[in-house]
Amino acid sequence: MTEDGIFGDLGITPFRRRVSSGRPAPHLSLRFDSHLFSIDTSRSPKGSVQPDAYLITHAHSDHYGKSAMISPEAVASRETARALEIRHGRRYEGRTFPVGGSILVDDLEVVTYSTGHTIGSVAFGWETDLGVRVLVTGDVKNYENLPKCDLLVTEANYGDPWDPACRFEDDIVGFGDAVDAGSTFGAYAFGKAQRAVSLIRALGCKDPIGMDGKSLALTRELLPGFGPFSPAEENGTDLNVVTPWELSTIRSKRKYVLTGRSDLPFAQIRISDHLDFKGLMRMVERISPKAALVYHPEGRRANMMAHHLRELGMASISVSEIEDSF
């Protein structure tokens, strides 16, 4: 199936920029009406085609905000902009909006919707001159806030229907038991650490949470009302959230990792920042698009999810099936 068949009627052309080696740059751009929007992509070099906006869905490094953030054309939520500044030690030069607010790109209103994936993560939605509603989700944990659309551009982190690892439930009970017992949790400094802190407070625990330097800086800034926090080595209680790499340096009777990685020598508790496959399908059903473009992460899972949606009768391609480039 060619993309012309899907996107021609919608008046939207997906493109990928090529880097000098000829490989496509991450992730993609959409051309429609007189606009070119780049999505979760690195900055185009001077002299090449420039987009009207670099839409940054959230501050995880595989969405390339580190590169796009220094463009005045960057568009990100206030929290995403701040997280990028803390993570990368450089100034965010683009424009910001509150999560759930809207922002004008030229004369076009782009509306944003929380996706619950990280603090500040959003989906971007807009309507073209032809009245086609486009929604770009980035990574999603909670689709309840997302509107219906005609073209859905979405993620496939757990999008392979034939991979058992793509079906799971969060182990909130196991996590709660470990919090009650006093434990040290290994979690990535941006995203998972704030999810752990939010859950610890939601469970009713008011103890100080010990954190490593980077996690502490990000959490104090992004979850200011969720303290008390302290540096992990000074924490008086046995409750800590540190990066997986620092887990071995903390003296604690109980240690768990909250990642899906199995190469770390600690027990795992499954707490994901993503929808699993069933969740992704419920999201697609709710949004009920005419067409879907599965864009992240590139590779097998995006290909398999696009294939599965085609089997269900929906016009769908993955990012690696985009043929046009610039």
Q: Interface with Zn ion by CB under 5 A: which residues? A: 60, 139
Give the nearest residue (CB) to Zn ion: 60
| 18 φ/ψ sector (left φ>0, alpha ψ -120 to 50, else beta) | beta
Cβ of residue 273: shortest distance to Zn ion, in angstroms? 6
Cβ of residue 54: shortest distance to Zn ion, in angstroms? 16
Cβ of residue 42: shortest distance to Zn ion, in angstroms? 16
Q: Which is nearer to Zn ion, 87 or 255 (CB)?
A: 87
Q: Which is nearer to Zn ion, 43 or 117 (CB)?
A: 117
Question: Three-class SS of residue 215?
Answer: helix
Helix 213-222 / helix 78-88 crossing angle, nearest 10 deg: 160
Cβ of residue 88: shortest distance to Zn ion, in angstroms? 15
Pairing of strands 122-127, 133-136: antiparallel
Question: Three-class SS of residue 325?
Answer: strand
Quote the CA–CA distance of 258 and 276 in Å, as a whole number: 16
Quote the CA–CA distance of 322 and 108 in Å, as a whole number: 25
Q: Which is nearer to Zn ion, 83 or 322 (CB)?
A: 83
Which residues does 173 contact at the CB level (< 8 Å), separation at least 6?
none
Cβ of residue 153: shortest distance to Zn ion, in angstroms? 15
Give the residue from 150, 154, 172, 187 showing the smallest Cα distance to 275: 154
Q: Which is nearer to Zn ion, 117 or 255 (CB)?
A: 117
Residue 74: what residue type?
A
| φ and ψ at residue 12, rounded to 5 degrees | -130, 135
Quote the CA–CA distance of 162 and 295 in Å, as a whole number: 19
Quote the CA–CA distance of 182 and 198 in Å, as a whole number: 16
Helix 172-181 / helix 192-202 crossing angle, nearest 10 deg: 70
Look up residue 42 and give its DSSP letter.
P
Q: Which is nearer to Zn ion, 139 or 150 (CB)?
A: 139
| φ and ψ at residue 309, rounded to 5 degrees | -65, -35
Q: Which is nearer to Zn ion, 117 or 308 (CB)?
A: 117
Give the tokens for residue 195.
Answer: 């999810």
Q: Which is nearer to Zn ion, 150 or 155 (CB)?
A: 155
Q: Which is nearer to Zn ion, 125 or 138 (CB)?
A: 138
Cα-to-chain-centroid distance, residue 187: 16
